[in-house]
């Protein structure tokens, strides 16, 4: 692609200029002000803030609920992608379209709808109530909201890979007498594994930072169901920008780490795809 050519196409200066100007105003300056603000804080102060018991508890709640939700989405995502690619059935396109709903539906709306459904009086909540299981205002509720948010990620990253997968290997394995399960685990799964991981990582990153759908269903009990974004929010409402920034920093570093891991996996899998001779 990047052959050293002379630039015959016009507009490099203009397009680059506009790009950098808007990028600077919207993204770089605001992020820089976060760095600037952090630079004014003492390191020991940051450590003190982020090791408060209530903050640590929120890290744990955010992490564990996002992790479980993304794990469930990874499994369901593969099944959904498989069904959508390999099978034909009535209303398949409706199902396919619905997958995108969490992207289109405002998170606050999803939040109050799920809360109404899973509260003691709701259709699902009252059913589980009989068994003594509470969903809304518990960590289960947070997980449910995060499952909703994360549904599209794994489906949409696995689907294109499954679509491109060559049938001939499966056929060959079938002719050689391999069982369906064996074909899936030995031939298909290794091919879609990087895509599953990418989808999982993206969903996980999104869930860690999710706020809108979770605040309503979480109940927001300190130590129990208080997620990290909510702690940042309540610090901000008390105009304690220092604490908010310190906690936000931890979240930022964590989500960059997740993104970095996803990028490494993606880079490796595109190398394999482009290498061709597998």
Partner 1 sequence: MQENKKGSKAVKWILISICVIFVFFMLILPLITVITEALRSGWETYQKAVTDEYAIDAAGLTIEATVFAVLINTVFGIFASWAITKFPFRGKKLLTTIIDIPVTVSPIIAGLIFLLTFGRQSPIYPWLQDLGLQIVFAVPGIILATVFVTFPFISRELIPVMEAQGTEEEEAAALMGAGGFTIFRKITFPHIKWALLYGIVLCAARAMGEFGAVSVISGHLRGKTNTLPLHVEILFNEFQYVPAFAVSSLLVIMALIILIIRSIVEYRGKKA
Residue number with CB closer to partner 1 (7 or 53): 7
The nearer residue to partner 1, 81 or 138, going by C-beta atoms, is 81
Inter-residue contact 169 to 189 (CB < 8 Å): no
Instruction: Compare residues 60 and 256 and give the one whose CB is closer to partner 1.
Output: 256
Q: Are 68 and 143 in contact (CB under 8 A)?
A: yes
Using the minimum distance from each CB to partner 1, give the nearer residue, 57 or 113. 113
- Check residue 55 and give left, alpha or beta (phi > 0: left; psi -120 to 50: alpha): alpha
Task: Give the integer Cα–Cα distance in Å for 68 and 261.
Answer: 18
| Length of the chain, in residues | 278
- Residue 88 CB, shortest distance to partner 1, in Å, is 10
Supply the DSSP symbol for 226. -
Distance (Å, rounded) from C-alpha 98 to C-alpha 96?
A: 6
The least distance separating partner 1 from the CB of residue 21, rounded to whole angstroms, comes to: 9
Closest separation in Å from C-beta 89 to partner 1: 6
Cβ 53 to partner 1 shortest distance, Å:
21
Give the H or E element holding residue 210. none
């Amino acid at each position: 692609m990047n052959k050293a050519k002379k630039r015959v196409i016009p507009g490099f200066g203009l397009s680059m200029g506009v790009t950098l100007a808007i990028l600077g105003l919207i993204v770089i300056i605001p992020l820089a002000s976060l760095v600037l603000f952090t630079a004014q804080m003492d390191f020991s102060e940051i450590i003190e803030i982020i090791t408060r018991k209530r903050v640590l508890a929120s890290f744990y709640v955010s992490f564990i609920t996002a992790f479980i939700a993304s794990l469930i989405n990874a499994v369901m995502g593969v099944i959904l992608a498989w069904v959508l690619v390999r099978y034909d059935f009535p209303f398949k396109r409706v199902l396919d379209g619905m997958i995108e709903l969490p992207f289109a539906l405002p998170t606050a709306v999803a939040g109050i709808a799920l809360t109404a459904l899973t509260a003691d009086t709701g259709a699902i909540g009252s059913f589980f109530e009989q068994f003594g299981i509470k969903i809304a205002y518990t960590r289960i509720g947070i997980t449910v909201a995060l499952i909703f948010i994360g549904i599209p990620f794994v489906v949409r990253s696995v689907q294109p890979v499954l679509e491109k997968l060559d049938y001939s290997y499966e056929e060959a394995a079938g002719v050689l007498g391999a069982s369906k399960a064996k074909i899936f685990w030995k031939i298909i799964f290794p091919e879609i594994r990087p895509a599953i991981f990418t989808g999982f990582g993206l969903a996980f990153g999104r869930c860690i930072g999710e706020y809108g759908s979770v605040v309503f269903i979480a109940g927001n009990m300190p130590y129990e169901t208080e997620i990290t974004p909510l702690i940042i929010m309540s610090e901000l409402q008390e105009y304690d920008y220092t604490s908010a920034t310190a906690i936000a920093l931890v979240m930022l570093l964590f989500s960059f780490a997740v993104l970095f891991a996803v990028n490494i996996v993606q880079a490796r899998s595109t190398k394999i795809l482009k290498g061709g001779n597998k």
